Amino acid sequence: MEESQRNPVPESNLVRTEQVIEATSEEVAKSQELMQAVAEGKVNKVEQLLKEGANHSARAAHGRTMLHFATMVGSLPIVKLLLSYGHPWNLVDDDYKSVGDYAKSFNQPEIYDFLLEEGVRTELLMGLMQRKLKAELLKEKQEEQEGEEKEEKEEEKHVDQKEVEALVNVTSEDVEPSNSSLSEKDKPSTEPASKKQKVESASEVPNASYLSQPLHYTDDGDRLLDAERNGVMMGWELPLMVRHAEVICPEEGLRVLNVGFGLGLIDKELQRRSPVQHTIIEAHPDVYAYMIKEGWDKKPGVKILFGRWQDVVDQLEVYDGIFFDTFGEYYEDLRAFHEVVPNHLEEGGVYSYFNGLGATNEFFHAVYNRISELELSEMGFTVEYEEMDIGLKEEEWNGVKRAYWTLDKYYLPICRLDGF
């Protein structure tokens, strides 16, 4: 799953595109017949045509798929048939409306619920497969690295042996009288000729591009933008951050952790609540420089960890409240952070995060919410979403490349760590 928090990416991994297949006139006619049968809600005809191999990937006007039409006519049996024959659950029309959006618009709650669970099931399975593949590739890479290091050591051992033999075979005439020993620079090195260091390439670091590009704060301090004028964080989020701060730090004297400073909206709110310990992780050098300039390193109880959370996790302690809000990372990175939270959250403590996954499509956002809830529950959390109205005006995005939020509601995650 490749949806990124805040990133304005309408091309979400939740949105599938079909492979363009050249078809014969007979195949086109068969596909059109199938489209007509779907639009008319003829279940038996649809099943027959699918068995005969009719192509279900055709689109009609406005980019509507057969699954869109099955939803419009309210036929759950046809929806199930199409999905069973491999029709993707998450295609969108030309207006970026998913089948789930159609189910809601046409008042088809049964179809909506089925599509939601189908989306969740599919994405959970895909996520599991991707993590398994990643683990296998990592294992292969480690084994390859270990093999190279072993070869280097064998080669060094061979070279050292030759040097010893050469020293043993020299005659007294070859040696100049001297009381001095070999200088440090002349001594054979015991260090490997080339050390293998653990360095993540840009392809392995999901937000490497973001971390390497310059950011700038607008003069009014209301926006943080990247080099392409994508919104990293914007002032309209303040009401959300106020509530997030209240949730993870409900009283004075608590220990809190925030991952991702941005405009400092939540950190300002946390400071107003007088935490005894306030740790902030920030990875971008421009944001870190801004924090130092603004004196955040001198604020009461504040400890700044400069780096990606993955690189400073061993410096974390135990906290009463934790908040996560990074830019340029993806759901799998958020999920990876979820896995470490139980190790650093006090029993009964609260964890929350900026819930911007799939935030340009209501249905995909609902799928992500359900996936997050299920996976967090498996990690020992009880999860609830607190609904908040947003209702942004279009002018909020003036001067920004693309909107990363288009929904009217914000579902604020409140995750409490249960006792074991």
Read off the CATH number of the domain in which 282 is found: 3.40.50.150
- Total number of domains constituting the chain: 1
Say what the pLDDT of residue 196 is: 29
Note whether residue 203 is domain-resident: no
Half-sphere exposure of 192 (CA within 13 A, CB side): 11
Note whether residue 318 is domain-resident: yes
Distance between CA 47 and CA 393 in Å, rounded? 46
Give CA 148 to chain center in angstroms.
32
Query: Using N-to-C axis directions, what is the helix angle for 76-84 and 109-168, rounded to 10°?
Result: 20
Closest CA to 255 of 284, 227, 276: 276
Q: Please, which residues bridge with residue 92 across strands?
A: 98
pLDDT digits (tens, 9 = 90+) for 369-410: 999 999 999 999 999 999 999 989 999 999 999 999 999 999
Name the token pair of 292: 């130092």
Distance between CA 106 and CA 73 in Å, rounded? 9
Lowest mean pLDDT among 68-72, 188-192, 274-278, 408-412: 188-192
Q: Where are the alpha helices (DSSP H) in 65-224?
A: 66-72, 76-84, 99-105, 109-168, 208-212
Sign of CA dihedral 105, 109, 115, 121: positive
| Stated pTM of the model | 0.80
Note whether residue 104 is domain-resident: no
Closest CA to 353 of 249, 419, 260: 260
Confidence of residue 160 (pLDDT cuts 50, 70, 90): low
Note whether residue 356 is domain-resident: yes
Note whether residue 85 is domain-resident: no
Distance between CA 368 and CA 220 in Å, rounded? 33
Say what the pLDDT of residue 138 is: 78
Note whether residue 101 is domain-resident: no
Confidence of residue 11 (pLDDT cuts 50, 70, 90): very low
Note whether residue 37 is domain-resident: no
Note whether residue 4 is domain-resident: no
Closest CA to 99 of 109, 91, 107, 87: 91
Residue 289's domain spans which residues? 208-417
3-state secondary structure of 91: coil
